Amino acid sequence: MAGDSRVSFHVTILGSSGMFATAERACSGYLLEPGDAAIWMDAGAGTWQQLLRHTDYRTLAGIILSHRHPDHTTDVFQCHHARQYGGPVPLEPLPVWTTEETVGRLVGFSKECGDAFDFRTPEAGREIEVAGADVTFHAMAHPPDTLGVRFEYEGAVLAYSSDTGPNADFSALAGGANVFICEATFQGSDGGWEGHLSAADAGRIASDVGCERLVLTHLPPGRDHARSLEEAKETAGGVEVLLAQDGMRIEVRR
């Protein structure tokens, strides 16, 4: 895939563990690179250090936080301190797109976040422009207000489920996506729950909405992730299925 003329942008997996970080995996986090820009999407524990391996935090174009849960947000405070106190003068407030609920929790914990960040609360279903990309946020089926992300740049489409149960509009979120990063919290031996997907659910959804590649993330700590991969492949039809690995850089090709 290296050097493919159809590559429109890259996404790097900064973290892929569900619920809590482990010695091998940080929590949820992704680096989107449309053109020369860098956008941090979800900031779970451990993703800040991963981010610094790939880009300069001072040049970030913005941050997207899907919802308020700690395994998707806590490292944003590292960025807050770095931008506010890491140089001779504070950096300009950085745009952060997230839910009102998330803003309330972050500012409630550290009111100074409002100095480091320019919080923006996008309306679900409405397209906005971020660093030259068209970004649409979608309401997901998860107990806190949660936004899935459809990210389109130069004809290539990345979709991100964040945390969700099966009762969401996946056609709108991920229909025809070149890459679909989808949570796979449960395995077949687990009991289901309306707020998360199993690996088999992720495979079935990717097939139903016509994705090209499925990347399983939000992987359960302490489990055999090869089992998750196999369960997703069993339901994914002709969709290519990958298991997220921290540091993995994926080409999003139109």
In whole angstroms, give the CA distance from residue 242 to residue 216: 6
Residue 1 falls within a domain, yes or no?
A: no
pLDDT exceeds 80 at position 5: no
pLDDT at residue 20, rounded to an integer: 96
Residue 145 falls within a domain, yes or no?
A: yes
pLDDT exceeds 80 at position 2: no
pLDDT band at 121 (very low <50, low <70, confident <90, very high): very high
Q: Please state the domain count of the chain.
A: 1
Q: How far is CA 139 from the centre of its chain?
A: 14
pLDDT exceeds 50 at position 148: yes
In this prediction, residues 128-143 reach a mean pLDDT of: 96
pLDDT at residue 1, rounded to an integer: 38
In this prediction, residues 220-249 reach a mean pLDDT of: 97
pLDDT at residue 3, rounded to an integer: 45
Residue 199 falls within a domain, yes or no?
A: yes
For the entire predicted model, the pTM comes to 0.95
pLDDT band at 191 (very low <50, low <70, confident <90, very high): confident
CB atoms within 10 A of CB 196: 22
Read off the pLDDT of residues 24-55 as tens digits, 9 standing for 90 and up.
999 999 999 999 999 999 999 999 999 999 99
In whole angstroms, give the CA distance from residue 174 to residue 172: 6
pLDDT at residue 203, rounded to an integer: 98
Cross-strand partners of 127: 136
- Calculate the average pLDDT of the chain: 95
pLDDT exceeds 90 at position 7: no
Strands 62-64 and 156-160: unpaired
Looking at this protein, which amino acid is placed at residue 20?
A: F
Q: What domain range is 233 assigned to?
A: 7-253
pLDDT at residue 194, rounded to an integer: 82
Residue 224 falls within a domain, yes or no?
A: yes
What residues contact 93, with CB distance under 8 A and at least 6 apart? 115, 116, 117, 118
Residue 241 falls within a domain, yes or no?
A: yes
Residue 2 falls within a domain, yes or no?
A: no
The CATH number linked to 210 is 3.60.15.10
Q: What is the DSSP letter of 62?
A: E
Residue 128 falls within a domain, yes or no?
A: yes
More confident residue, 191 or 70: 70
In this prediction, residues 103-110 reach a mean pLDDT of: 96
pLDDT at residue 189, rounded to an integer: 83
Looking at this protein, which amino acid is placed at residue 161?
A: S
Name which of 9, 28, 30, 7 is nearest 17 in CA terms.
28
Name which of 23, 112, 95 is nearest 61 in CA terms.
95
pLDDT exceeds 90 at position 192: no
In whole angstroms, give the CA distance from residue 104 to residue 47: 22
Helix, strand, coil percentages, rounded to 5, for the chain: 25, 30, 45
In this prediction, residues 223-237 reach a mean pLDDT of: 97
Name which of 88, 64, 69, 83 is nearest 19 in CA terms.
69
pLDDT exceeds 80 at position 221: yes
Give kind and range of the element (H or E) at residue 48: helix 47-52
Q: What is the DSSP letter of 68?
A: S
Virtual CA dihedral for 84, 115, 63, 245, nearest 10 degrees?
Answer: 40
